[in-house]
Structure formats: C-alpha cells, structure tokens
Amino acid sequence: MAPWALLSPGVLVRTGHTVLTWGITLVLFLHDTGEPDPARPRTHPTPQLRQWEEQGELLLPLTFLLLVLGSLLLYLAVSLMDPGYVNVQPQPQTEELKEEQTAMVPQAIPLRRCRYCLMLHPLRARHCHECRRCVRRYDHHCPWMENCVGERNHPLFVAYLALQLVVLLWALCLAWSGLRFFQPWGLWLRSNGLLFATFLLLSLFSSVASLLLASHLYLVASNTTTWEFISSHRIAYLRQRSSNPFDRGLIRNLAHFFCGWPSGSWETLWAEEEEDSSQAV
C-alpha cells in the first residue's frame, strides 16, 4: 500500500469515527457520571458505569460496550462493502442470450446511458461522482461513511442508524446524569467541562441520527430512495408518473427491503405499473 493511501478521505473519516466513538465511551466510563455515594463527599461522585462494576452489576456496562462495538462494526461494514456497483465490464454474451435478455426487458422503460461510464443504466441506478461508479438502487453518497448507500448496503445502513441511536440516547442519559450544577461556575467548568462538551456532541449526534432514521424508515416504507424523493421531477421513469411505480404496500415493501422478498426486477414492476395505469386511463 502506498503511503499516501493512508491519508485518503475514506481512511481519515473511518479513523475519525472510530477514535471519536471510543473517546466518548472512555469519557463516560472514566468521568464522574453517577449519583453521589453517601459514604463519600458530595464533590466526588462515583462514576455510574464504574459504580455498577464496583457493585458487581457487570451486565449493564458490558451491554453498553457490546452495543458500542456492534454499532462500530456495522458502520465499518456499511462503509467498506460494495453498495451495489454496476459492473463496468459485463461478461461476454452470445447473440442468443442477448436477444433473450432484450426480449425480457419491456421496451417502454426509459433506460438511459451513463455519460461517464458509457453504459446503459439499470432502472433506479445512478452514477456517483464521488465514487466514480454507477450504483444500483442509488440512495445517496454518505460523507460520514465515505461510501454510497445503495442496493446492497441500504438495509445495513438502516440497521446501523437504529443501533447507533440506541447507543447515543443511552450515552446521552449517562452524560446528563454526571452534570452537577451545585458548584461555582469556575470549579464546575474545570470538573465538568469535558463531560459537558461530550453531552453537547451526543445531543447533536442523537438529533441527526433520529432525523436520518425517521426519514429512511419513511422512504423504505414507501419503496423510494433519497435521490428519487428529492429529484423525482428530473428522473425519466418518475417524471410523468403521479404515484410511485415501485410501491407494493407497506408489508411487501419492508419484506423486500430487509429480506429480498418478493423477488423480481424493477423493470418488470415498472412495466406492470405502467400497463395498469394505461388500462385505467
């Protein structure tokens, strides 16, 4: 590996996320975040996580650590995996196979050729300028992941948001429980400044994670993507449609998103909806 590869945006972003995650965890474990111990002076409260350990209650601290580790592993999985790149160099095919595949794809579907990859886009795919690749069922490019969110890693991305929100809310409660306001301002700032900064960071991250999770659950429930929701007026297969042609209903949308059922190509589903719309008219 070349030395400059270690300074690539992806490595820097993932390293920053990992350091920030464990740094906040260490602050919560080592800072005075618990209720004051009656046997000690009030100015020296026992850390809540450490207090659980001293009392032999290891389940809660261990659970918190496992949740933090799980969220970090999910983050790395989503950021490192293939989001569903369209193969730039398709395998050679015989003329018979090409004719068979052409016959299976309805001709009314407005497929377009990518001006960067110079290949026909599958339905719902889009070229990502940051990754310089076309991504199937493109949702968005996440700068915090330094990776696209697409067909393959979108379910894991939603799972990551859910687990991360649980960790953030728990950490927020731990940080809040350690903020003591009975001391003079100067003394309070020296003893609680780091914890207060951690609390502000956790509040910001919790708000962002809540909004992201709510928006993605809404999109999943309606079987649409962030890109389609924002740019439907510019997308050929949505521009002249009054409703989402991929919406199969809440249960089937969730089942297809998380379990891959029912299976089937987006081209076939779009053509079926187009035919139903034509018959209705």
Query: Mind telling me the catalytic residues?
Result: 142
Distance CA 273, CA 163 (A): 35
Triad 190, 196, 202: Cα angle to 5°: 155
Distance CA 92, CA 77 (A): 31
Distance CA 211, CA 116 (A): 33
CA distances from 64 to 27, 52, 69, 188, 267 (A): 13, 12, 9, 27, 44
Distance CA 51, CA 178 (A): 13
Strand partners, 127: 134
Distance CA 209, CA 201 (A): 12
